[in-house]
Structure 1
Amino acid sequence: MTDSGSTRPHSETFEHAGATVELVDAGTLLAAARVNPVDLLHQAAWPEPVHRVEVTVDGTGGAEHVFTARIVTLDSPAATRQRMRGIVLDIDPLGRLLARRIAAGDQVVTRIVDGVGMAAAVAYRSLGLEKPVDREPGLLADTDAGIEATVTYDAGVARLKSRIPRDAVGVAHLRAFVTLTLQAVADIAGPGSLTGRRYVVGRRAGTPATTGSVTLDMVGGLAGVVAELRQIAVSFRHPEAMARWGARRPQGLLMYGPPGTGKTMLSRALANEIGADFREIRTPEILDKYLGGSERNIKQIFRDARRYRTPTLMLFDEFDSIVSYAGAGGDAASQALNAVAGIFKQEMNDLIEENPNVIVVATTNFPHRVDESLIRSGRFDVKISVPKPDETSRAEIFRKMIRGLISAHETPGFRMFADDLDLTALGVASTGMTGADIKEVLRRVQLAKAMQDARGAAVTPISQEDLLTAVRALRGGS
């Protein structure tokens, strides 16, 4: 039994004001909006006098998702030309003569009439005689979804805006805002103006999420870990609740586990979930071959961190390589490592006291190499094991990665993946693999298909056998 359907973005279709609307992957859109504003309507045709509608959802502010729509109602050049042509042809009796010549296909007369009409349009505008008809501000609402949209009109542009608390926002709000936007269009263009039209609401194809834009919703196979990170994010997004109860949110997080399990990706996703800036500190930024250099670097990094005035996640990747426990050895290397670890402890204490806007995340593949006093509670309050995924988790990772590729790359007429995918079988076949391994499997198959395409060969969508072959090849070390 295949389950390829679950890899494709979920879509729902509904009707409003006579138009058919397809809403594609709404849940993922709302999650992606936490990182970057998402534009939702592309290449749509609208009834005159509306000739462009822009709908955006933006959740980057942290506390709210803001839905906005911009309906441009200024006349299009084609509509203006047609109206001005009518004015010219209304001149009696010359108009009737010109109209007959245009109907007979006389291109010279047509160009003359259109030129006169457009000159008249320019004159109208310059004299202030042709102005878009604006309306009084208003309010549209969908009581079932619990959403209201303020509507303002200015210079021929209607604007709708709704705000929904980030922790409460859902697909119903997105669907309702789209219907309110269509309602505003119908109010402008007239009854029945949307009948028979079709609109697709979703992310533009060909714009894949970058590594920096990953969200917790996009993480597959780590439900327990994701749940813990969500709790941390909630504490950062609601400082007023923390202050009311005198609670100190966790400012230190240690993630440990085998290589390739997604610790760095999870750190980025947490930063995006919080709405925080992401600052990655790599080993070469700290360790210095000159005496005292490493200590100075640590102090400078934390000195900068104490000045951050916006939420910031500082990631110390491969933490053990920076502050490995060297014991009480008397050699210079041991003394240097112990000095770095000691300064890190003090700087971490000072940061927690002075700047609650910063959360420090450390990741390591070898937690036993890190001094326990360094990662004790009070410095690193939360410690999360990120294990290799089990069979069910691997299937979920395949599902989310494939679904992301489909959203980013499939277009009308181009199908990237076949319908025979069996995610359960892929989960079984990839025993022992990590998320990084699964990503490499997909990369190899994508590259193979792209090379076939580049050589002009007939290329079929990526099939179950293509993926299984790549899994076997990677497990075999080829």
Structure 2
Amino acid sequence: MSDTRPRGETFEYAGATVELVDVATVLAAARVNPVELLRRATWPAPVQRVELTVASADRTSGPVHTFAASISTAEEPLSKERIRKLVLGNDPVGLLLAKRIEAGDPIATRIVDGVGAAAAAAYRKLGLDRQAAPMTGREPGTLADAVVGLQAEISYDETGTVVRLHAEVPRDDVTPAHLQAFVGLTLQAVIELTGPDSLTGRRFVVTRETLPKAPVTTQEVTLDMVGGLADVVGELRQIAVSFRHPEAMARWGARRPQGILMYGPPGTGKTMLSRALANEIGADFREIRTPEILDKWLGGSERNIKQIFRDARRYRVPTLILFDEFDSIISYAGSGGDAASQAINAVAGIFKQEMNDLIEANPNVIVVATTNFPHRVDDSLIRSGRFDVKISVPKPDDASRAEIFRKMIRGLIAAHEAPGFQMFADDLDIAALATASHGMTGADIKEILRRVQLSKAMQDARTGGNVTPITTDELLASVCELLGPR
């Protein structure tokens, strides 16, 4: 049996089926970052949404795992973000406008916000923005699970439309049973709002891999989704911890890394890892490419690099700045005497000066540079103090490729499988796929899957359905096709 499908345990609660998937992984991940669960579940009225989070905290008595749930009966407020989503929609024009807004286009922003303001006014005039009636007569209290001894405190927000549950367990004592108990207490609180039989026949899946669903782009990738690079991921996690805890750094007079250089063959995931680090930190992601710096006009390149760092010093939120393909921006500093080489040398010189004190000027910023050709970058540019951490991102070995296949397939299952539709066969031979794809990178494995997905989708389009799940043989054929004749 293939292990590409997450392992889970199922229990029944008030007529509902609850599946807990890889709880040990959830509890381990919560030591580093809060883990959100149940975000995409649907609920009976009047409950609109339930948010459940597992996190870690330090108490005077020692570190604890915290379990928190928020049960809301109020509609999502008409924020600017929500109004934009309503106006833009998912059609091609909406997607184009969304990209223009994301890029900072002031005209597109004014147009959409103007339409949104009119829509919001109409929404309020029609009475569609009414908030839920408050839950009057309810007092703070507790819910308890006697089996594991878990006790959750219950409170209500000032509007009376949100119920909150909170429980803590010492980190050394926490077990999967505690998460199961807290999920049960959360469902019990929902039942008190919706009625004793309201959850009958419903199914809830509690897992960080499928809720929210795995992203289809790298913008939302996390370090947990990275396969086959355990040492690299571990080092990036440590960097994220140092970034998120400046008070601990200050207490010990420690200085977190200001710059990170990631190098290795093409397709090994350097850019993806940079995005994952930004998401692990909770930072904005700013990618700098060669055309943004190098300019054919005299002095233009120098002005561009100065402006990039001038902006970096003004960021007021955590920001990761990625210089992708770093060698193409400032390669072979100090070589050559022609005008182009002099321009590159000038850019490299400014880069060195700006990196000397960036962290002191703005501790909200961390710089990452990636390159396929580290020998093309002058050592003085990436010395310690500028780039304190240098990480090699190699091609994956057999075990790593197996993990990459497993995690990518799990993500696709989470994102696309639904009742009545199975995307992958249950008996996939991951070891055979890892062996057959010797020498391939994560990008290659993604392409293998893309080709098989496209083939299946075309079959589905031609036949109107009745397409069998993807098998090991089909994936192996895609591997051979990508490898080509040898």
Q: TM-score range by the shorter chain?
A: 0.7 to 0.9
What CA distance in whole angstroms lies between the structure 2 residues aligned with 1:205 and 1:377? 39
Which sections of structure 2, spanning at least 5 residues, go unmatched?
Answer: 59-64, 76-132
Alignment-derived partner of residue 160 in structure 1? 164
Q: 2:204 is aligned with what amino acid?
A: V
The code of the aligned residue for 1:376 comes to R
Deviation at 1:184?
Answer: 1.8
Matching residue of 1:218: 225
Please tell me the residue identity of whatever aligns with 1:7: T
Aligned-pair distance for 1:206?
6.9
Determine whether 1:181 maps to 2:176. Answer: no
Supply the distance in 1 between the matched residues of 2:343 and 2:135 (Cα, whole angstroms).
Answer: 73
Q: Identify the residue that residue 447 of structure 1 maps to in structure 2.
A: 454
Structure-2 change in CA distance of 1:213 and 1:150 (3 Å): same
Identity %: 67
Residue 339 (structure 1) aligned with residue 346 (structure 2): yes
Show CA shifts across 1:397-431 (max 9, x none): 00000000000000011000012211111000000
1:455 partner SS: helix
- On the 8 A contact 1:138/1:152 being kept in 2, the answer is no
Residue 139 of structure 1, aligned match among 129, 137, 142: 142
Distance in 2 (CA, whole Å) between partners of 1:310 and 1:178 is 33
CA–CA separation in structure 1 for the residues paired with 2:451 and 2:57: 37
- State the Cα distance separating 1:438 from its structure 2 match: 0.2
Question: What amino acid does structure 1 have at the position aligned with 2:49?
Answer: E
Aligned to 2:82: none
Q: CA deviation at 1:350?
A: 2.7
Structure 1 unaligned spans of 5+ = 75-129
Preserved contact between residue 134 and residue 155 of structure 1 (Cα < 8 Å) = no
Does residue 13 of the first structure (1) align with residue 10 of the second (2)?
yes
Answer whether contact 2:8 2:21 (CA < 8 A) is retained.
yes
Aligned to 2:41: 42
Mapping 1:3-152, distance limit 5 Å: 3-4=1-2, 6-16=3-13, 19-24=16-21, 39-40=38-39, 42-44=41-43, 46=44, 51-52=46-47, 54-57=49-52, 67-70=68-71, 72=73, 134-140=137-143, 144=148, 148-152=152-156
Taking only aligned residues, the RMSD between alpha carbons, in angstroms, comes to 3.6
Distance 2:319 2:275 in 1: 11
2:241 alignment partner, SS class: helix
Structure 1 176/432 Cα, relative in aligned 2: closer, same or farther at 3 Å? Answer: same
Equivalent positions of 1:433-444 (< 5 A) are: 433-444=440-451
Q: Note closer, same or farther for the CA distance 1:474–1:431 as it changes in structure 2 (3 Å cut).
A: same
- Provide the C-alpha distance between the structure 2 equivalents of 1:170 and 1:296, rounded to a whole number of angstroms: 56
Residue matched to 1:95: none
Question: Alignment partner of 2:427: what SS?
Answer: coil
Distance 2:151 2:217 in 1: 31
1:189 CA drift (Å): 6.3
Whole-angstrom CA distance in 2 between matches of 1:22 and 1:59:
16
How many aligned positions are there? 414
Structural mapping, 1:191-340, within 5 Å: 193=197, 197-202=201-206, 203=210, 208-340=215-347
Q: 2:360 aligns to what?
A: 353
Structure 2 counterpart SS, 1:374 = coil
Per the TM alignment, residue 72 of structure 1 is displaced from its structure 2 partner at its CA by 4.0
What's the CA shift for 1:73?
11
Contact persistence 1:160–1:181 (CA under 8 A) = no
User: Out of 450, 463, 476, which is 1:468 matched to?
Assistant: 476
* CA separation of 1:327 and 1:197: change in aligned 2, threshold 3 A: same
| Distance in 2 between residues matched to 1:282 and 1:274, nearest whole Å | 22
**Which is worse superposed, 176-185 or 227-236?**
176-185
Bigger relative CO (Cα 8 Å, ≥ 6 apart):
1
Closer, same or farther: CA 183–157 of 1 in aligned 2, 3 Å: same
**Superposition deviation, residue 359 in structure 1:** 0.7
2:47–2:194 Cα contact (<8 Å) kept: no
| Structure 2 partner of 1:100 | none
Residue pair 1:61, 1:275 contacting (<8 A) in 2 also: no
Q: Which has the larger radius of gyration?
A: 1
Check 1:244–1:66 CA distance in 2 against 1; reply closer, same or farther (3 A cut). same
TM-score, normalization: structure 1? 0.77
Kept in 1, the 8 Å contact 2:144–2:151? The answer is yes
Residues 35 and 272 in structure 1, CA contact (< 8 A), matched pair in contact too: no
Instruction: Report the TM-score when normalising by structure 2.
Output: 0.76
Aligned partners of 1:299 and 1:343 also within 8 Å = yes
Compute the displacement of 1:199 (Å): 3.0
Is the aligned partner of 1:373 residue 2:380?
yes
